[in-house]
Amino acid sequence: MIRIFIGFDPRETVAYHVLSHSILSRTSQPVTIAPLALSHLTKLITREKHPLQSTDFSFSRFLTPYLSDYQGWSIFMDCDMLVLDDIVNLWQLRDDSFAVQVVKHQHIPQEATKFLGAPQSKYDKKNWSSVMLFNNARCKALTPDYVNTASGLELHQFKWLENETLIGEIPHRWNHLVDYDPPNRDVSLVHYTIGGPYFSKWQQCEYATEWFAERDKMLHAENK
Protein backbone atom coordinates (compact mmCIF):
# COMPACT_ATOMS: atom_id res chain seq x y z
CA MET A 1 0.00 0.00 0.00
CA ILE A 2 1.38 3.38 -1.03
CA ARG A 3 0.74 6.03 1.63
CA ILE A 4 0.21 9.54 0.31
CA PHE A 5 -0.37 12.71 2.33
CA ILE A 6 -1.56 15.83 0.53
CA GLY A 7 -1.51 19.33 1.97
CA PHE A 8 -5.03 20.72 2.30
CA ASP A 9 -6.01 24.39 2.29
CA PRO A 10 -9.74 25.28 2.23
CA ARG A 11 -8.98 28.08 -0.22
CA GLU A 12 -7.92 25.39 -2.72
CA THR A 13 -10.36 22.60 -1.90
CA VAL A 14 -10.88 21.70 -5.55
CA ALA A 15 -7.12 21.36 -6.04
CA TYR A 16 -6.90 18.62 -3.40
CA HIS A 17 -9.68 16.59 -5.02
CA VAL A 18 -8.43 16.94 -8.58
CA LEU A 19 -4.92 15.95 -7.52
CA SER A 20 -6.30 12.93 -5.66
CA HIS A 21 -8.26 11.91 -8.75
CA SER A 22 -5.19 12.28 -10.95
CA ILE A 23 -3.35 9.83 -8.68
CA LEU A 24 -6.19 7.33 -8.36
CA SER A 25 -6.94 7.25 -12.08
CA ARG A 26 -3.34 6.32 -13.00
CA THR A 27 -2.00 4.15 -10.20
CA SER A 28 -1.38 0.46 -10.84
CA GLN A 29 -1.20 -0.37 -7.12
CA PRO A 30 -3.46 0.39 -4.12
CA VAL A 31 -2.90 3.78 -2.47
CA THR A 32 -4.19 5.58 0.58
CA ILE A 33 -4.59 9.35 0.36
CA ALA A 34 -4.93 11.52 3.48
CA PRO A 35 -5.50 15.28 3.54
CA LEU A 36 -3.34 17.24 5.98
CA ALA A 37 -6.15 19.59 7.03
CA LEU A 38 -5.58 21.77 10.09
CA SER A 39 -9.14 21.06 11.23
CA HIS A 40 -8.07 17.42 11.62
CA LEU A 41 -4.82 18.27 13.41
CA THR A 42 -5.93 20.63 16.19
CA LYS A 43 -4.26 18.48 18.86
CA LEU A 44 -1.02 18.23 16.91
CA ILE A 45 -0.48 21.64 15.30
CA THR A 46 -0.59 24.28 18.02
CA ARG A 47 1.71 26.95 16.57
CA GLU A 48 0.29 30.27 15.48
CA LYS A 49 0.11 31.00 11.77
CA HIS A 50 3.29 32.74 10.65
CA PRO A 51 2.99 35.98 8.59
CA LEU A 52 5.07 34.39 5.81
CA GLN A 53 3.05 31.16 5.81
CA SER A 54 1.35 30.97 2.41
CA THR A 55 -0.69 27.78 2.95
CA ASP A 56 -2.28 25.94 5.86
CA PHE A 57 0.08 23.02 5.33
CA SER A 58 3.39 24.92 5.37
CA PHE A 59 4.35 23.15 8.62
CA SER A 60 1.92 20.24 8.92
CA ARG A 61 3.63 18.46 6.00
CA PHE A 62 6.47 17.60 8.38
CA LEU A 63 4.09 15.50 10.50
CA THR A 64 3.97 12.89 7.73
CA PRO A 65 6.51 10.55 9.42
CA TYR A 66 4.73 10.88 12.79
CA LEU A 67 1.35 10.18 11.20
CA SER A 68 2.93 7.10 9.61
CA ASP A 69 4.10 5.85 13.04
CA TYR A 70 7.67 6.33 11.78
CA GLN A 71 7.29 3.11 9.80
CA GLY A 72 7.88 2.34 6.15
CA TRP A 73 7.75 5.06 3.53
CA SER A 74 5.26 7.83 2.76
CA ILE A 75 4.84 10.46 0.08
CA PHE A 76 3.94 14.07 0.79
CA MET A 77 2.90 16.55 -1.89
CA ASP A 78 1.36 20.02 -2.03
CA CYS A 79 -2.23 20.21 -3.25
CA ASP A 80 -1.49 22.57 -6.16
CA MET A 81 -0.28 19.73 -8.34
CA LEU A 82 -1.38 17.28 -11.02
CA VAL A 83 0.03 13.77 -11.39
CA LEU A 84 0.33 12.63 -15.02
CA ASP A 85 2.11 9.32 -14.39
CA ASP A 86 1.64 6.15 -12.38
CA ILE A 87 2.57 7.08 -8.78
CA VAL A 88 4.20 3.64 -8.54
CA ASN A 89 7.02 5.02 -10.69
CA LEU A 90 7.77 7.55 -7.96
CA TRP A 91 7.34 4.95 -5.20
CA GLN A 92 9.93 2.70 -6.86
CA LEU A 93 12.58 5.40 -6.47
CA ARG A 94 12.79 4.81 -2.69
CA ASP A 95 16.38 4.41 -1.51
CA ASP A 96 17.01 3.26 2.06
CA SER A 97 20.33 5.10 2.17
CA PHE A 98 18.41 8.38 2.44
CA ALA A 99 16.05 9.82 5.05
CA VAL A 100 14.13 11.89 2.52
CA GLN A 101 14.18 12.26 -1.26
CA VAL A 102 13.20 15.39 -3.20
CA VAL A 103 13.63 17.24 -6.47
CA LYS A 104 16.56 19.55 -5.76
CA HIS A 105 15.37 22.72 -7.47
CA GLN A 106 17.64 25.71 -7.98
CA HIS A 107 14.69 28.08 -7.66
CA ILE A 108 14.88 31.79 -6.89
CA PRO A 109 11.42 33.38 -7.42
CA GLN A 110 11.36 36.94 -8.70
CA GLU A 111 7.83 37.94 -7.67
CA ALA A 112 6.92 39.17 -4.18
CA THR A 113 3.48 37.51 -4.01
CA LYS A 114 1.72 34.48 -5.42
CA PHE A 115 -1.90 33.23 -5.33
CA LEU A 116 -4.43 35.28 -3.34
CA GLY A 117 -1.71 37.74 -2.35
CA ALA A 118 0.23 35.13 -0.39
CA PRO A 119 3.84 36.18 0.32
CA GLN A 120 6.51 34.62 -1.87
CA SER A 121 9.41 33.67 0.39
CA LYS A 122 12.93 33.30 -0.98
CA TYR A 123 15.30 30.84 0.64
CA ASP A 124 17.80 28.12 -0.14
CA LYS A 125 16.15 24.78 -1.09
CA LYS A 126 12.96 26.54 -2.18
CA ASN A 127 10.28 23.99 -3.21
CA TRP A 128 12.35 20.98 -2.17
CA SER A 129 9.74 20.17 0.46
CA SER A 130 6.76 20.35 -1.92
CA VAL A 131 7.21 16.69 -2.92
CA MET A 132 8.94 14.43 -0.43
CA LEU A 133 9.56 10.72 -0.22
CA PHE A 134 9.90 10.12 3.53
CA ASN A 135 11.88 7.16 4.89
CA ASN A 136 9.86 7.47 8.08
CA ALA A 137 12.07 5.55 10.50
CA ARG A 138 14.94 7.92 9.71
CA CYS A 139 12.82 11.02 10.34
CA LYS A 140 12.09 10.58 14.05
CA ALA A 141 13.39 14.08 14.76
CA LEU A 142 10.11 15.32 13.28
CA THR A 143 8.04 15.03 16.44
CA PRO A 144 4.92 17.16 16.92
CA ASP A 145 6.84 19.23 19.48
CA TYR A 146 9.66 19.92 17.03
CA VAL A 147 7.28 20.76 14.19
CA ASN A 148 5.48 23.22 16.46
CA THR A 149 8.61 24.99 17.66
CA ALA A 150 11.17 24.86 14.83
CA SER A 151 11.48 27.82 12.50
CA GLY A 152 10.22 27.61 8.96
CA LEU A 153 13.76 27.59 7.61
CA GLU A 154 14.81 24.80 9.97
CA LEU A 155 11.99 22.68 8.63
CA HIS A 156 12.07 23.52 4.93
CA GLN A 157 15.88 23.48 4.74
CA PHE A 158 16.01 20.05 6.42
CA LYS A 159 18.00 21.21 9.42
CA TRP A 160 16.37 18.35 11.35
CA LEU A 161 18.69 15.92 9.58
CA GLU A 162 22.18 15.15 10.85
CA ASN A 163 23.66 16.20 7.52
CA GLU A 164 22.65 16.92 3.94
CA THR A 165 23.95 13.61 2.62
CA LEU A 166 20.70 12.13 3.94
CA ILE A 167 18.73 14.11 1.33
CA GLY A 168 18.39 12.02 -1.82
CA GLU A 169 17.40 13.31 -5.24
CA ILE A 170 14.52 12.28 -7.47
CA PRO A 171 14.18 13.21 -11.16
CA HIS A 172 13.02 16.70 -11.98
CA ARG A 173 10.04 15.29 -13.89
CA TRP A 174 8.41 14.61 -10.50
CA ASN A 175 8.12 18.33 -9.62
CA HIS A 176 7.83 20.47 -12.73
CA LEU A 177 7.40 24.11 -11.71
CA VAL A 178 4.85 25.74 -14.00
CA ASP A 179 5.94 29.13 -15.38
CA TYR A 180 9.39 28.74 -13.82
CA ASP A 181 10.82 25.69 -15.55
CA PRO A 182 11.06 25.73 -19.35
CA PRO A 183 7.85 24.38 -20.93
CA ASN A 184 8.00 20.60 -21.08
CA ARG A 185 5.37 18.16 -22.36
CA ASP A 186 7.09 15.13 -20.87
CA VAL A 187 6.71 15.38 -17.08
CA SER A 188 5.22 13.17 -14.38
CA LEU A 189 4.03 15.76 -11.86
CA VAL A 190 3.00 19.35 -12.54
CA HIS A 191 3.32 21.95 -9.76
CA TYR A 192 1.30 25.15 -10.12
CA THR A 193 3.41 26.85 -7.49
CA ILE A 194 2.48 30.49 -8.32
CA GLY A 195 -1.22 29.74 -8.74
CA GLY A 196 -3.32 26.94 -10.18
CA PRO A 197 -5.77 27.23 -13.10
CA TYR A 198 -8.62 27.04 -10.58
CA PHE A 199 -7.77 30.70 -9.83
CA SER A 200 -9.00 33.05 -12.56
CA LYS A 201 -5.64 34.78 -12.90
CA TRP A 202 -3.86 31.57 -13.95
CA GLN A 203 -6.48 29.89 -16.14
CA GLN A 204 -4.16 30.13 -19.15
CA CYS A 205 -1.00 28.78 -17.49
CA GLU A 206 0.99 25.80 -18.74
CA TYR A 207 -0.89 22.54 -18.18
CA ALA A 208 -4.15 24.39 -17.48
CA THR A 209 -5.95 22.36 -20.16
CA GLU A 210 -4.84 19.12 -18.52
CA TRP A 211 -6.02 20.31 -15.12
CA PHE A 212 -9.50 21.21 -16.38
CA ALA A 213 -9.73 17.88 -18.21
CA GLU A 214 -8.87 16.06 -14.97
CA ARG A 215 -11.47 18.07 -13.07
CA ASP A 216 -14.13 17.11 -15.62
CA LYS A 217 -13.22 13.44 -15.31
CA MET A 218 -13.47 13.70 -11.53
CA LEU A 219 -16.98 15.16 -11.83
CA HIS A 220 -18.18 12.41 -14.17
CA ALA A 221 -21.14 10.29 -13.13
CA GLU A 222 -22.57 7.52 -15.31
CA ASN A 223 -26.23 8.23 -15.99
CA LYS A 224 -27.04 5.48 -18.46
CATH number of the domain within which 132 lies:
3.90.550.10
Specify whether the CB–CB gap between 205 and 192 falls below 8 A: yes
Residue 224 is assigned to a structural domain of this protein: no
Specify whether the CB–CB gap between 45 and 74 falls below 8 A: no
Residue-level pLDDT at 4: 98
Count of structural domains, the chain: 1
Other CB atoms within 10 A of residue 7 CB: 25
Residue 147 is assigned to a structural domain of this protein: yes
In tens, the pLDDT along 96-149 reads: 999 999 999 986 766 656 556 555 566 688 899 999 999 999 999 999 999 999
Residue-level pLDDT at 2: 98
Residue by residue, DSSP assigns 65-101 as HHHTTT-SEEEEE-SSEEE-S-THHHHTT--TT-SEE
**Nearest Cα to 177, choosing from 221, 114, 117?**
114
**Nearest Cα to 87, choosing from 26, 170, 135?**
26
Read off the pTM: 0.91
Residue 153 is assigned to a structural domain of this protein: yes
How far apart are alpha carbons 129 and 154 in whole angstroms?
12
Residue-level pLDDT at 149: 94
